[in-house]
């Protein structure tokens, strides 16, 4: 049966690594009848983790779409990675999900990635629910974790809608605070009862009253009747919860266990809440797009003009490129021709499929609000917008953080250099949060990403898919050199080897300039001592010598060369002679005046929990950094530290910040300027 827009639910499971998102997805698919039995993360048999690198690590590394039917609803479940290195995958999920289910470990409590994602979702006003997973584990603590959620997520709007029945290994059901019924799973399947267990009855009634008091505020008529003494029905409470969730002001908290000796507990209750309390694509704010320089809204209307947003591209071993998209407006049919708003190219949707992990189910139509994929559309990239001809709108691309970790790479075999370049382009296409650049100064190919693990995974995929062995080399720093004092020197080049010789003499004054000024060449020759047509050769010789490097081997910068005088020969002087004379003059000046080694300095902003401020500042000082100021951070209990730090000291900073702050710190670094190094540091540099 074709999904209907108001019965579609696009739901992303988000949270810290290890909270059990993938197994919760497995449990939902099992309860929906999609799976005959649950797979395992460790065994690499889950529906969502399809890549070899995921099987080896036992963790999700990319998002996976897992659709299923629940009653008359169609649910597009999106399983996302929980490790911070793969935040780009989560960003893609956030752009198409209408509801986020925060999966929280009932033992570990709220962790760093949980907090970060909640902050992002809050800033964007995305509807949210919370599922306390692993309630059957030893040391699972409902009250403690609920307190952490209110403290670290939001002091308002957190509304428990279920209580656990039993603790740790005795956990076997939930009490529904909306209906005041209990659901027990002693037989492995849900059994509904209207009589509450004695040990939680008193608390359940009290928590039910608290829920009613908070939720009736979402409906003015319901609130008025409640104040007059009328109790709302379960249906009215559910409708009020739905309104609060849609507006991202109420955040229901459910409990359960995705994996247990007798099977999943209360996972079916989560599916019910997603369908009956969660928003449809038509109930969330319309997508925002640009059209002819104006900002326009794109309502989720199946009868509107076709607009689809590509949120993920992947390389499939059987069909090649797979482009996953969400239909924001209209209805897309197989063989439709849409326009890529970025390139203007026409794209025919030959292979329209519904994706479930590694499975592809052919589709003929996809309605507004639904997720699907198209195969073999070369040139389509994540973040692109496909639109109907004559409706020129473009949805803003994915908001991907700037990479903060880098490694230098090269193919182990010189014969594979071209293959490596092509492989890198394919990896970047699948993961646009990665960056590749060729550093002209150091000659290295640099791969940049969010962290060490992301880069390792990218290189492993290159080796597996393309058979290329990749070497990781130390990241070179683009040091530079400059004069430390003015010098006036002669550059003399004379060569005679029979026949026509080479002859050129120049008198040049070299002066250091301020940092970042570059190079200046001044022609001050009078009387034709150097012919006018040969003066550019002097400048070219100096510039080429600067590029080759000074006494320490680094590119020379920030100086002025003034050509004062020279000598030439009517027969033996030519461009090559005066190029060489200019080069000799620069080397003579560097030898006479001396050179200083300059190192790049980065402007660093580090945001960390307040209790880690002292340790982080101490670490900045140990890296030869200079703290320039601090300010209150964007999140509660956070501080942002501003500092100037040598770039050479930041090669492993992404990993170190996470370690110092238990995953709660984040930073960004941008080039600021070059500064001279001390002689002692230069000596250490030479000894490496």
* pLDDT tens track for 348-400: 999 999 999 989 999 999 999 999 999 989 889 999 999 999 999 999 999 99
- The mean of the pLDDT values for the chain is 94
- pLDDT of 498 over the 70 cut: no
pLDDT band with cut points at 50, 70 and 90 for residue 499: low
- Contact between 10 and 78 under an 8 Å Cβ cutoff? The reply is yes
pLDDT of res. 63: 96
Long-range residue pairs from 281-284, CB within 8 A, at least 24 positions apart, any chain: 281/5, 281/8, 281/10, 281/98, 281/368, 281/369, 281/370, 282/5, 282/6, 282/368, 282/369, 283/6, 283/98, 283/246, 284/98, 284/127, 284/246
- pLDDT of 684 over the 90 cut: no
- Indicate the pTM of the whole model: 0.90
- pLDDT of 150 over the 70 cut: yes
pLDDT of res. 318: 79
**Percent of the chain predicted with pLDDT > 90:** 82
CA proximity to 12, closest of 64, 59, 53? 64
φ, ψ dihedrals at 504, nearest 5°:
-160, 130
Secondary structure (DSSP) of 89-150: HHHHHHHH-SEEEEEEETTTBS-HHHHHHHHHHHHHT--EEEEEE-TTSTT--HHHHHHHHH
Going from the C-alpha of 368 to that of each of 301, 307, 323, 365, 373, the distances in angstroms are: 6, 9, 17, 10, 14
Lowest mean pLDDT among 10-19, 240-249, 522-531, 584-593: 522-531
pLDDT of res. 260: 81
Q: Which residue has the higher pLDDT, 318 or 247?
A: 247
pLDDT of res. 688: 66
pLDDT band with cut points at 50, 70 and 90 for residue 310: very high
Token duo for residue 457 = 């995974």
Question: What is the torsional sign of CA 177, 223, 145, 21?
Answer: positive
pLDDT of res. 396: 95
Question: What is the torsional sign of CA 31, 212, 155, 251?
Answer: positive
pLDDT of res. 294: 92
Secondary structure (DSSP) of 437-497: EE-TTT--EEEEESSHHHHHHHHHHHHHHH---EEEEPPPP--EEEESS-EEEEEEEEE-S
pLDDT of res. 261: 80
* Average pLDDT over every residue of 641-659: 94
pLDDT of res. 685: 83
pLDDT of res. 293: 86
- Contact between 167 and 174 under an 8 Å Cβ cutoff? The reply is no
- pLDDT of 500 over the 90 cut: no
pLDDT of res. 527: 84
Distance CA 147, CA 153 (A): 10
Token duo for residue 170 = 């005795």
Q: What would the pLDDT profile of 76-119 be if each residue is shown by its tens digit?
A: 999 999 999 999 999 999 999 999 999 999 999 999 999 999 99
- pLDDT of 559 over the 90 cut: yes
pLDDT band with cut points at 50, 70 and 90 for residue 633: confident
- All domains of the chain, ordered by start, with CATH? 5-277 (3.40.50.300), 287-387 (2.40.30.10), 407-471 (3.30.70.870), 480-593 (3.30.230.10), 598-687 (3.30.70.240)
- pLDDT of 44 over the 90 cut: no
Estimate to the nearest angstrom the gap between the alpha carbon of 199 and the chain centroid. Answer: 46
Question: What is the torsional sign of CA 327, 330, 335, 336?
Answer: negative
- pLDDT of 533 over the 80 cut: yes
Q: Would you put residue 625 in left (φ > 0), alpha (ψ -120 to 50) or beta?
A: beta
- Residue 150 CB coordination number (10 Å): 15
- pLDDT of 50 over the 90 cut: no
- Contact between 578 and 504 under an 8 Å Cβ cutoff? The reply is yes
Q: What would the pLDDT profile of 153-206 be if each residue is shown by its tens digit?
A: 999 999 999 999 998 999 999 999 999 999 999 888 889 998 899 889 999 999
- Contact between 63 and 80 under an 8 Å Cβ cutoff? The reply is yes
pLDDT band with cut points at 50, 70 and 90 for residue 1: low
* Average pLDDT over every residue of 135-157: 95
Distance CA 573, CA 492 (A): 12
Token duo for residue 339 = 């326009």
Distance CA 98, CA 201 (A): 35
Q: What would the pLDDT profile of 418-467 be if each residue is shown by its tens digit?
A: 999 999 999 999 999 999 999 988 899 999 999 999 999 999 999 999 99
The alpha carbon torsion through 209, 212, 217, 221 (nearest 10 deg) reads -120
pLDDT of res. 328: 98
């Amino acid at each position: 049966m074709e999904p209907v827009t108001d019965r579609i639910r696009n739901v992303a499971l988000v949270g810290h690594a290890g909270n059990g998102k993938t197994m919760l997805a497995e449990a939902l698919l099992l309860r929906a009848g999609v799976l005959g039995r649950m797979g395992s993360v460790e065994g690499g048999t889950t529906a969502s983790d399809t890549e070899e690198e995921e099987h080896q690590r036992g963790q999700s590394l990319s998002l996976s779409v897992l659709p299923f039917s629940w009653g008359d609803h169609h649910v597009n479940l999106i399983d996302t990675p929980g490790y911070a290195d793969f935040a780009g995958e989560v960003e893609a999920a956030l752009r198409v999900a209408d509801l986020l289910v925060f999966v929280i470990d009932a033992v570990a409590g709220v962790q760093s990635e949980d907090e970060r994602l909640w902050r992002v979702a809050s800033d964007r006003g995305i509807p949210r629910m919370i599922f306390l997973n692993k309630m059957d584990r030893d040391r699972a603590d409902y009250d403690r974790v609920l307190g952490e959620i209110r403290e670290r997520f939001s002091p308002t709007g957190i509304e428990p809608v279920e209580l656990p029945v039993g603790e740790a290994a005795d956990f076997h059901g939930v009490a529904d605070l909306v209906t005041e019924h209990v659901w027990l799973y002693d037989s492995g399947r849900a059994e509904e009862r209207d009589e509450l267990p004695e040990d939680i009855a008193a608390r359940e009634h009290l928590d039910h009253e608290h829920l009613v008091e908070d939720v009736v505020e979402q409906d003015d008529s319901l609130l008025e009747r409640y104040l007059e003494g009328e109790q709302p029905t379960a249906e009215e409470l559910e409708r009020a919860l739905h309104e609060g969730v849609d507006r991202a002001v109420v955040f229901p908290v459910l409990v359960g266990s995705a994996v247990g000796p007798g099977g999943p507990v209360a996972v079916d209750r989560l599916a019910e809440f997603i369908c009956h309390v969660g928003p449809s694509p038509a109930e969330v704010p319309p997508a925002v797009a640009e059209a002819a320089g104006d900002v326009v809204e794109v309502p989720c209307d199946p009868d509107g003009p076709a607009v689809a947003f590509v949120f993920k591209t992947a390389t499939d071993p059987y069909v090649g490129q797979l482009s996953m998209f969400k239909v924001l407006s209209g209805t897309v049919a197989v063989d439709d021709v849409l326009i890529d708003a970025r390139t203007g190219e026409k794209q025919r949707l030959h292979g329209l499929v519904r994706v479930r992990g590694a499975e592809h189910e052919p589709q003929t139509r996809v309605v507004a609000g639904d997720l699907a994929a198209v195969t073999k559309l070369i040139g389509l990239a994540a973040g692109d917008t496909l639109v109907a001809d004559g409706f020129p709108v473009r949805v803003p691309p994915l908001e991907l953080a700037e990479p903060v970790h880098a490694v230098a790479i090269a193919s182990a075999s010189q014969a594979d250099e071209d293959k490596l370049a092509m492989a890198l382009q394919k990896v970047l296409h699948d993961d646009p949060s990665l960056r590749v650049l060729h550093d002209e100064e150091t000659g290295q190919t640099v791969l940049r990403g969010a962290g060490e693990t992301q880069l390792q995974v990218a290189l492993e995929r290159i080796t597996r898919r393309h058979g290329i062995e990749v070497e990781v080399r130390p990241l070179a720093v683009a040091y530079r050199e400059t004069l430390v004092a003015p010098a006036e020197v002669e550059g003399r080049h004379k060569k005679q080897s029979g026949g026509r010789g080479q002859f050129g003499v120049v008198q040049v004054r070299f002066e250091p300039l301020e940092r970042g000024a570059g190079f200046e060449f001044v022609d001050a020759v009078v009387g034709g001592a150097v012919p006018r047509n040969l003066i550019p050769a002097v400048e070219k010789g100096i510039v080429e010598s600067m590029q080759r490097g000074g006494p320490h081997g680094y590119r020379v910068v920030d100086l002025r060369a003034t050509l004062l005088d020279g000598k030439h020969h009517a027969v033996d002087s030519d461009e090559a002679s005066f190029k060489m004379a200019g080069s000799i003059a620069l080397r003579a000046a560097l030898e006479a005046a001396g050179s200083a080694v300059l190192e790049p300095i980065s402007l660093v902003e580090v945001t960390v929990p307040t209790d880690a401020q002292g340790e982080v500042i101490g670490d900045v000082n140990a890296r030869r950094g200079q703290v320039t100021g601090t300010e209150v951070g964007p999140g509660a209990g956070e501080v942002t530290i501003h500092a100037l730090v040598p770039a050479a000291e930041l090669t492993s900073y992404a990993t170190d910040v996470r370690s110092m702050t238990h995953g709660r710190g984040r930073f960004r670094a941008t080039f600021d300027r070059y500064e001279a190094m001390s002689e002692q540091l230069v000596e250490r540099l030479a000894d490496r």
